[in-house]
Structures are given as structure tokens and as C-alpha cells.
Amino acid sequence: MMIGSEFLKPDFTIVRRTETANLLALIKELMPHDCGKELIRLGGQGDGGYLIPDDLEGIEYCFSPGVGTLSRFESDLADLGIKSFLADFSVDGPSVNRPEFTFDKKFLGPSDHGDFITLASWKDKYIKNYMGDFILQMDIEGGEYEVILNAPDALLNQFRIMVIEFHRLNSLLDLFAFSFMSSVFRKILHNFEVAHIHPNNCSDSLQVDDIEIPRVMEFTFLNKRRVSSRKLLDMFPHKLDEDNTADAPALHLPRCWFS
């Protein structure tokens, strides 16, 4: 069989496509629900602001890998009495210095070597025997999949709320990537409900048949032990949602992700 020369260029890859039924089944599992907690916004407007359930009482610590140039979310938590552990090898510290912040110049990763530290080792470094609830706010440019797969189930279950920005979601159409990525989501869904999804308009979305997949989306998860109701949400964007990038076209959650 002859393959057209355009498919032999360096920026093209031939992959086996995920079956539509399997992709739709995963999307259905990830549909956001009203979990009985009102959503609030922390981190200000635009990038760095996230919607989370108003269920912070009793939480003492947040783990926040992927610092970049913004620390408004962690600063808002500090105003509420929640301390944050921050980690990012690409910067020398958070943009704001506060006594509630503890910074490590490390990347969060699937193993402890060189510039990387695992979530379990990071927790043990500071509060090894602490058994209370945490918050996770993770934006690590694609490394989130390996970090979640590597994390012990018991440690993940200590997080009451997790906000994770998932990258390269268009790769769900690749059968090999789908197997890997879906295992990450299903590991999370074992103990968590999806409380909110917000596409990041720093990138666009990919349309295939009736399925639209934004390439980057922020997921908010609430631990099932904190869920008091479970009603499928049917209206997006949320009134508190804000575009991440002011000079890019708005990108709302496609209907196939909630309807």
C-alpha cells in the first residue's frame, strides 16, 4: 500500500484510533456532578484561578506542584489559614513570599531522582505521619498522568479536593494513549467525583464526529466521602468561570462532556 508523502513528514504520525464507543464511555464517566457543595473561586481572575467546592474547613495543607509565575491560589488559601507546599524546578520560588509557603526547587515526577520528587516522598519530607485531609492543585505540563499512576491509593485518598490541569487530551483519540490516560482517570474516579471542568483557552479543541475534545482542561475532583448528593450538571460555563487567556478565543466545555 502506498502512503501519501504528506503522511511521511516529521509532524505527522499514523496511529490506531480509539473506538468512539470507548471514548464516549470515558467521557460519560467524567461528566461533572453537583456534589452538594457550592463552588467558589480561588486564585483571582484569568489563569491561576480555579473553582473548588466550598468544603475547606479542617484542611491544613495544600500541595501545589507547578508554580510558574502565579501563586494567587495558594495565597487565597493562606488567607484562609491553609499552608501550601510548592514545588517547581523551573523557578527559584513562588511569586509571593509568605510564611505559609514552603518551596522545593523540584519537579514532581514518578520517581525520586535528580530534579524530581514523588508525591509520596514530598509528603513524607514534611508531614510523614499526618493523616488529615489535603488539597492538591497540580499544573505540571503533562507530567500529571505519571504522577497520579505512581501515587499510592491511600495517599490520593487523603486529598479532599484535587484540581488538576490535564494536558494533551486530544491524545485520547490515539488508542495507545487512551489506554494509559483512561487508567489515570479511572484511578482517580475510584475515590473521587468530578465537580467541575473548565477548558483552558490557551489552546483549541479537536472535533471528531460528534465528539469535541479541548486539548487542555482543568478538572476539579471532590473525594466521595465528602459528597452529599450526586446530580448531573447540565449548564456550562459556570457563572464563576473565566477565560485563562484574555487575548484568545473563549473556549467553553463542549456539550458532549456534560449532556
For residue 257, what is the DSSP state? G
Whether residue 4 lies inside any domain: the answer is no
Whether residue 2 lies inside any domain: the answer is no
Whether residue 3 lies inside any domain: the answer is no
Compute the average pLDDT of residues 117-132.
97
Phi-psi region of 83 (alpha: psi -120 to 50; beta: other; left: phi over 0): beta
- For residue 3, the model assigns a pLDDT of 39
Q: For residues 68 and 88, give the distance between their C-alpha atoms in angstroms, rounded to a whole number.
A: 7
- Domain boundaries, position 61: 14-245+252-257
Q: Is 207 exposed, middle or buried (0-12, 13-18, 19+ CB in 10 A)?
A: exposed
Whether residue 230 lies inside any domain: the answer is yes
More confident residue, 153 or 9: 153
Terminal-residue alpha carbon distance, the chain: 41
Beta bridge partners of 208: 211
Question: pLDDT category, 8, cuts 50, 70, 90?
Answer: very low
What Å distances lie between residue 201 and 9, 28, 70, 198, 242, CA to CA?
A: 28, 22, 17, 9, 10
Q: With beta carbons less than 8 A apart as the criterion, state whether 239 and 181 touch.
A: no
pLDDT at 194 over 80: yes
Compute the average pLDDT of residues 125-133.
96
Whether residue 117 lies inside any domain: the answer is yes
Whether residue 9 lies inside any domain: the answer is no
Say if strands 101-104 and 107-108 run parallel, antiparallel, or are unpaired: unpaired
Q: What is the largest CA-CA distance in the chain?
A: 65
- For residue 4, the model assigns a pLDDT of 42
CATH of residue 198's domain is 3.40.50
Whether residue 44 lies inside any domain: the answer is yes
Q: Is 155 exposed, middle or buried (0-12, 13-18, 19+ CB in 10 A)?
A: middle
Question: CB 194: neighbour CB atoms within 10 A?
Answer: 21
Q: For residues 186 and 30, give the distance between their C-alpha atoms in angstroms, rounded to a whole number.
A: 9
- Element holding 29 (H helix, E strand): helix 20-29
> Residues 136-187: pLDDT tens digits?
999 999 999 999 999 999 999 999 999 999 999 999 999 999 999 999 999 9
Whether residue 147 lies inside any domain: the answer is yes
Q: For residues 193 and 239, give the distance between their C-alpha atoms in angstroms, rounded to a whole number.
A: 20
More confident residue, 131 or 6: 131
What is the tally of structural domains in the chain?
Answer: 1
- The SS3 assignment for 240 reads coil
